[in-house]
Amino acid sequence: MSCKMSRVFREIIRAHKAGSALNVRAFSVSSANNSDEFDIVVVGGGIVGAATARELKQRYPNYKMAIVEKEADLARHQSGHNSGVLHAGIYYKPGSLKAKLCVEGLNLAYKYCDSKKIPYKKVGKLIVASTPDEVDKLHDLHERGKKNNVAGLELIKGERSIKAIEPVCEGLEALWSPNTGIVDWAVVTKSYGEDFRKGGGTIHLNFEVNGFEEAKDGGHPVLIKSKSGKTIKAKYVLTCGGLQSDKLAEMSGCPRSPRIVPFRGEYLLLSPEKAPMVTTNIYPVPDPRFPFLGVHFTPRMDGSIWLGPNAVLAFKREGYKWTDINIGELMDALLYPGFRKMAFKYVRAGLHEMAKSLYTPLQVKDLQKYIPSITAKDCLSGPSGVRAQALDDEGNLLEDFYFDMKKDQGASSTADRILHCRNAPSPGATSSLAIGKMIADKIRDEFKLS
């Protein structure tokens, strides 16, 4: 009798004694007893990785799955260092994947938070035009939002109407989005992880992946190595590495392009005395040349008000302040032709962002367009986040999802078993549940899962 059949019979006897039913299919999915062998492994414990792992576990409950995360907890980087906004889907090109996923994801996020009793607030958002030129762009944005089926979107004309919503705000016209909200996305990410764990998934923390190799075990041919020396095996792998996504792709033989270039966004905090004056999100009309939404006022779940962010090159992939420097990662960005082309194209804007970072009154000047009573004395140093911005070789900012897989050329049986999500653009957090469904569909198709 084979070892595998012996395990099955032992499990049948154990289940019989316990008075429980046996799910035989589990044995056909994963050769079971080795805790370091999995059917699917998701690399990356940010919100996209956690949401996708959760979705996969719900679809394939008998598959043995794991999340591996290099930090000591989930959501340590982009997912836990953002403004915490639930976006309504106004900004994105009608018919685009980003628009569809954001609108769908917002509805799913509210339902999920309700079901899990995760606190959130529908504080709304004002996108304010302060010049006649911005008014024209605002009208275009209004049409875009309507085509995207953004719920409750309303064009507000005149300062009096704006002040009826936010008494301290000034502007010519504004878009009012009552369905925009705020939440702590780190809490949501950890809740996704808990769902995954309760469904039978395993989460390996402090597991920094540094290579993929072909395993000798034909049943689980992908050997995933970590810097600590620990290894696990998998049948299939999905990477959602965020700031490290291009490096992970290169480990399995994919090209480095598109390259991740880290941009740090630094926030100020409105003083506790002035914080109660802001009750809703106040955003500028965005510059269509950039993926960043500009300096804005963001209420937080703890009652604080974040002001910003700017956007400057980070000197380290996970560099949250000017003194965080990794020479290798910095040179990797500076020597990349795509970055140099983008920097040359937007050199003036880049220098202005750096100046705002080093001299607070310049950032306050942008804020005063909307609330003139705010002064530099009202603004305190605040937190920062780092955005993983994917750039192609021509210096173009990737605005859509980008997946990569090195198709097997006969040299390795692992090449077509590792799928890389190399760009999951903003609003990735808001769209996370919808993105998880989309990526799960892609995994089903690429790996021919039943």
Q: What is the mean pLDDT of residues 185-211?
A: 98
Q: Where are the beta strands (DSSP E) in 143-229?
A: 154-157, 173-177, 181-183, 202-204, 209-214, 222-226
Q: What is the mean pLDDT of residues 159-171?
A: 97
The answer to whether 241 and 43 have CB atoms below 8 angstroms apart is yes
Whether 1 has a pLDDT exceeding 50, the answer reads no
pLDDT at 21: 33
Whether 31 has a pLDDT exceeding 50, the answer reads no
pLDDT at 414: 81
Q: What is the mean pLDDT of residues 391-420?
A: 83
Q: What is the mean pLDDT of residues 5-17?
A: 37
Whether 318 has a pLDDT exceeding 60, the answer reads yes
Whether 2 has a pLDDT exceeding 70, the answer reads no
Return the structure tokens found at 316: 């380290």
pLDDT at 33: 39
pLDDT at 218: 75
Closest to 388 (Cα-Cα) out of 376, 371, 378, 402: 402
Whether 170 has a pLDDT exceeding 60, the answer reads yes
Q: What is the mean pLDDT of residues 86-112?
A: 95
Q: What is the mean pLDDT of residues 204-218?
A: 91
Q: Is the peptide bond before 119 cis (omega within 30 degrees of 0)?
A: no
Domain ranges of the chain: 24-77+186-257+401-447, 261-277+286-388
pLDDT at 415: 77
Taking only the tens place, the pLDDT of each residue in 139-151 is 999 999 999 999 9
Integer Cα distance of 417 and 446 in angstroms: 9
Confidence of residue 30 (pLDDT cuts 50, 70, 90): very low
DSSP string, 244-269: GHHHHHHHTT--SPSEEEEEEEEEEE
Q: How do 120-121 and 296-299 pair as beta strands? A: unpaired
Confidence of residue 22 (pLDDT cuts 50, 70, 90): very low
Taking only the tens place, the pLDDT of each residue in 55-67 is 999 999 999 999 9
pTM: 0.89
Whether 7 has a pLDDT exceeding 50, the answer reads no
Return the structure tokens found at 343: 């920097």
pLDDT at 294: 78
- Tell me how far the alpha carbon of residue 115 is from its chain's centroid: 22
pLDDT at 28: 30
pLDDT at 75: 97
Q: Which residues contact 53 (CB under 8 A, 6 or more apart)?
A: 42, 65, 67, 192, 193, 196, 201
pLDDT at 409: 54
Q: Which helix (H) or strand (E) holds 381?
A: strand 379-391
Confidence of residue 399 (pLDDT cuts 50, 70, 90): confident
pLDDT at 18: 37
Whether 27 has a pLDDT exceeding 80, the answer reads no
Closest to 195 (Cα-Cα) out of 73, 81, 56: 56
pLDDT at 291: 59
Whether 389 has a pLDDT exceeding 50, the answer reads yes
- Angstrom CA distances, 425 to 74, 87, 92, 265, 422, stand at 19, 13, 11, 16, 10
**What residues pair up with 281 in beta bridges, in sequence order?**
125
Whether 227 has a pLDDT exceeding 70, the answer reads yes
pLDDT at 412: 56
Share of the chain above pLDDT 70, in %: 90
Integer Cα distance of 316 and 256 in angstroms: 17
Integer Cα distance of 51 and 152 in angstroms: 27
Least confident of 6-10, 238-242, 375-379: 6-10
Closest to 109 (Cα-Cα) out of 438, 439, 436, 431: 431
| CATH class name, domain 24-77+186-257+401-447 | alpha beta
Taking only the tens place, the pLDDT of each residue in 245-256 is 999 999 999 998
Confidence of residue 328 (pLDDT cuts 50, 70, 90): very high
pLDDT at 205: 98
Taking only the tens place, the pLDDT of each residue in 363-381 is 999 999 999 999 999 999 9
At CB < 8 A and 24+ separation, what contacts does 377-382 make? Answer: 377/271, 378/270, 378/271, 378/273, 378/274, 379/268, 379/269, 379/270, 379/271, 379/307, 380/268, 380/269, 380/270, 380/271, 381/268, 381/269, 382/266, 382/267, 382/268, 382/269, 382/306, 382/307, 382/308
Q: Where are the beta strands (DSSP E) in 169-230?
A: 173-177, 181-183, 202-204, 209-214, 222-226
Whether 276 has a pLDDT exceeding 90, the answer reads yes
User: For the chain, what's the residue count?
Assistant: 450
